[in-house]
Amino acid sequence: MKKIVKKHPLAIRWFHWINFPILGVMIWSGLLIYWANDVYRIGFGDTTMLKFFPDTFYQALNIPSRLSEGMAYHFVFMWLFFLNGIAYVLYTIFSGEWRYLAPEKKSFKEAWYVLLHDLHVRKTKPAITGKYNAAQRIAYSAIIVMGIGSILTGLAIYKPVQLGWLCALMGGYKMARILHFALTIGYVLFFLIHVIQVAMAGWNNFRGMITGFEVKKIKDSGDDVKTTNNP
Amino acid sequence: MANLFSNIFKSNKQLSTEQLIAKKTFLSFFVFFMMMGVAVIGWKWLRRQPVESGKTSAPIRKILNTNEEIFDGLVSDKRLTKEYPVSLAANPARVNGNIGLKTVLDSNWAMNVIKANGDTLKIKMDDIKKLPKTEIVFNFKCIEGWSQITHWGGVRFSEFMMAYGLSDEMMMKYLGLRTPDKEYYVGIDMPSAMHPQTLLCYELNDKPLPLNQGFPLRLIIPVKYGVKSLKRIGDMYFSQQRTPDYWADKFGYDYFSGL
């Protein structure tokens, strides 16, 4: 027998899917801006291991010479990113959903088990407390902290004089720009892992983010025989 | 499929769990794809809007103007750009543009100040140097994204205005500056121009400005991106309307470009 089990509230599904294209526009317009002074790299001394970004990357995405357009879109869509993010955070606080998201004491240790399990090193299935496992709790809380970080570092480089105190707090103008960029790389990595995990977790879990429910198979006695692990 | 369609209009109580799952899944995905469609149409609409100046369209420009109103209101004499010790100043300072500097400088250079009543004052370098000198070491910020601590000297724009009795002009909303060849020009809101750190600048690192830094006289306006710090001032004028601005008018950059 099958059973419908409620998982994601409607509000969270909306915030999630609204954020997706908005963050996309922010990253795209951010690239248009970054191109004009693309000085970051990973390396040591004069040796560059990874340049942000290679010319082929810029050409492929049609990035060059669009600074003013990038700034215009960035400073329009920043409002949507900000408002949707604030609404999401306030909703999780007032609905009590934060309880499912906030890491617990044991989460930091258990997150390793999740990692080992997902890499097929460890066989034991990690525990899900509430809606998410330990690694999810850490990841989904970290992404909120990152969002706040993007807004603060973004404001610091947007108005470094009028918000001089904030610029100083973010480590100064140059450091704030580095942090703002690094956070964006963080989103891209988060996105990649997130999508892989969703694909691995399967249809039932993915459908949950759209319909709000998951389907569980139960024996006639009513005991769960299968629960899903989900990103 | 036909069953699913008729089930959509049945109440949940009439349906088995399987049918209910199918109905709810279908409806949710329907709304999901509809909203994706709305987002795509909205984006295409935005991208289709005719561009005004350079690369920005009316709806985008409207929101940017609102941003300006919000952050322009923050500009005050009390909020100052951070200053640094002289020892941190770059020498030589980075040179990043020569628009308006391509012609040979007239040896008889004087700044033309076009007053509100139409009269023109011709002001020589010696006269400007008679006014009290102010130095500033600050992090010069280019709109491209780089920044550099640099050391400038000159007369405060506000003190220059007082000294030449330009009180009517101070009351006007916008300042305009252009190079002698009129190739480069900037428009600046008066509160930012009158900010105590805005200089009519003639020295870089304690020496007269090099030609490529705007000799003999340039603007240094730390509350804005470097594009507004026009090199080699030819004319100064005032208006109640926005004065022309090279990067805003031609390429769609933000007129205010405030920091």
How many alpha carbons fall within 13 Å on the CB side of residue A198?
11
Closest CB from B39, B146, B253 relative to A37: B146
Work out the average pLDDT over A194-202. 92
Per-residue confidence band for B1, with pLDDT thresholds at 50, 70 and 90: low
8 Å CB contact of A72 and B252: yes
Chain B partners within 8 Å of A184 (Cβ)? none
**A123/B122: higher pLDDT:** B122
Which chain B residues are within 8 Å of A215, Cβ to Cβ?
Answer: 21
The pLDDT of residue A231: 60
Return mean pLDDT, chain A: 90
What does the DSSP 8-state code read for residue A10?
A: H
* Close Cβ partners of A101 (under 8 Å, ≥ 6 residues apart): A92, A132, A137, A140, A141, A144
A contact set with B (CB within 8 A): 1-4, 17, 21, 33-34, 36-37, 39, 66-69, 71-73, 75-76, 79, 159-162, 164, 167-168, 173-174, 177, 207, 210-213, 215
Q: What is the pTM of this model?
A: 0.90
Q: How far apart are CA A13 and CA A19, in angstroms?
A: 10
Q: B146, A67: Cβ pair inside 8 Å?
A: no
Q: Is the pLDDT of residue B36 over 90?
A: yes
User: CB distance A39–B39 less than 8 Å?
Assistant: no
What's the average model confidence in pLDDT over B160-176? Answer: 95
Q: How many angstroms separate the CA atoms of A74 and A31, rounded?
A: 10
Interface test mutation site (partner A, options B67, B70, B247, B257, max chain A beta carbons within 10 A): B67
Compare B56 and A23 and report the one with higher pLDDT.
Answer: A23
ipTM comes to: 0.89
Whether the predicted pLDDT of B159 surpasses 80:
yes
Q: Which residue of B has its CA nearest to A158?
A: B259
SS3 B198: coil
- Which of A4, A68, A215 is best to mutate for the B interface (most B CBs within 10 A)? A68
Mutate to test the interface with B, among A10, A33, A52, A161 (most CBs of B within 10 A): A161
How buried is B8 (Cβ within 10 angstroms: 0-12 exposed, 13-18 middle, 19+ buried)? Answer: middle
Mean pLDDT computed over B138-144: 96
**CB-based contact A195:A203 (threshold 8 Å):** no
- Using 50, 70 and 90 to split pLDDT, how confident is the model at B240? very high
Summarised one tens digit per residue, pLDDT across range A65-99 is 899 999 999 999 999 999 999 999 999 999 998 88
The single-letter code of the amino acid at B105 is: L
- Rounded to whole angstroms, what are the CA distances from B104 to A38, A80, B22, B180, B211? 34, 49, 78, 10, 10
Between these two residues, B1 and B246, which has the higher pLDDT value? B246
Q: What's the pLDDT band for A229 if we cut at 50, 70, 90? A: low
User: How far off is chain A from B69, nearest CA to CA, in Å?
Assistant: 13
CB pairs under 8 A between A and B: 100
Instruction: Determine whether the interchain pair A69/B55 forms a contact, defined as Cβ–Cβ distance below 8 Å.
Output: yes
pLDDT value at residue B2: 62
Cβ-in-10-Å burial (0-12, 13-18, 19+) of B116 comes to middle
Q: What is the pLDDT of residues A164-196, one digit of tens each?
A: 999 999 999 999 999 999 999 999 999 999 999
Task: With a cut of 70, say whether residue B53 has pLDDT above it.
Answer: no
CB atoms B32 and A17 under 8 Å: yes
The label of the residue with tokens 């004052």 reads: B121
C-alpha distance from residue A101 to each of A12, A89, A117, A210, B86 (Å)? 12, 11, 20, 18, 50
Q: What DSSP string describes B19-60?
A: HHHHHHHHHHHHHHHHHHHHHHHHHHHHHHSPBSSTT-BHHH
Does the pLDDT value for residue B87 go beyond 90?
Answer: yes
Mean pLDDT value of segment A122-138: 84
Q: What does the alpha-carbon distance between residue B230 and residue A10 come to, in Å, rounded to a whole number? A: 53
Q: What is A18-62 written as a DSSP string?
A: HHHHHHHHHHHHHHHHHHTT---EEEETTEEEEES--HHHHHHHT
Nearest to A69 among B28, B144, B252 (CB): B252
DSSP per residue, B88-154: G--SSPP----TT--SPPPTT--EEEE-TTS-EEEE-HHHHHTSPPEEEEEEEE-TTS-EEEEEEEE
Find residue B236's DSSP bridge partners.
B113, B177
* HSE, side-chain direction, 13 A CA sphere, residue B138: 26
Residues of chain B with pLDDT > 90, as a percent, come to 74
Nearest C-alpha neighbor of B196 from the set B90, B81, B114: B81
* Segment B60-76, tens digit of pLDDT: 888 888 898 888 777 77
Is B186:B228 a contact under the CB 8 Å cutoff?
yes
**pLDDT value at position A105?**
85
* A198 burial level (CB within 10 Å; 0-12, 13-18, 19+): middle
Sign of CA dihedral B102, B103, B104, B106: negative
Query: Both ends of chain A: CA-CA distance in Å?
Result: 25
When mean pLDDT is compared over A106-120, A205-219, B69-83, B226-240, the highest value belongs to B226-240
In sequence order, what are the residues at sequence separation of 6 or more whose Cβ sits closer than 8 angstroms to the Cβ of residue A133? A110, A114, A126, A127, A229
Q: How far is B4 from chain A (nearest CA, A)?
A: 16
Q: Please, what sign has the CA dihedral across residues B120, B126, B128, B132?
A: negative
Q: Do B222 and A161 touch (CB under 8 A)?
A: yes
Contact A37 B81 (CB under 8 A): no
- The helix/strand/coil state of A133 is strand
Does residue A230 carry a pLDDT above 60? no
Q: Do A2 and B29 touch (CB under 8 A)?
A: no
pLDDT of residue A221: 58
Chain B: give the shortest CA distance to residue A190, in Å.
Answer: 22
Whole-number mean pLDDT of chain B?
92
Q: Is the pLDDT of residue B113 over 90?
A: yes
pLDDT tens digits, A34-46: 999 999 999 888 8
β-pair type (B111-114, B235-239): parallel
Residues of A in contact with B249 (CB under 8 A): none
CB proximity list for B107: less than 8 A, separation 6 or greater: none
Q: Is the pLDDT of residue A223 over 60?
A: no
pLDDT at B52 over 60: yes
Task: Tell me which residue in B35, B63, B145 faces A76 most closely, judged by beta carbons.
Answer: B63
Per-residue pLDDT at A219: 74
Tokens describing residue B20 = 């209910």
At position A155, the amino acid (one-letter code) is: L
The answer to whether the CB atoms of B17 and A3 lie below 8 A apart is: yes
Question: How high is the pLDDT of residue A110?
Answer: 84
Look at A161 and B55 and tell me if their CB atoms are within 8 Å: no
**Residues in chain A closer than 8 A to B222 (CB atoms):** 161
pLDDT for res A224: 52
Stretch B185-201: mean pLDDT? 96
Confidence category of residue B11, pLDDT binned at 50, 70, 90 = confident
Question: Which residues on adjacent β-strands are paired with residue B113?
Answer: B121, B236
- Smallest Cβ–Cβ distance between A76 and the set B18, B43, B64 belongs to B64
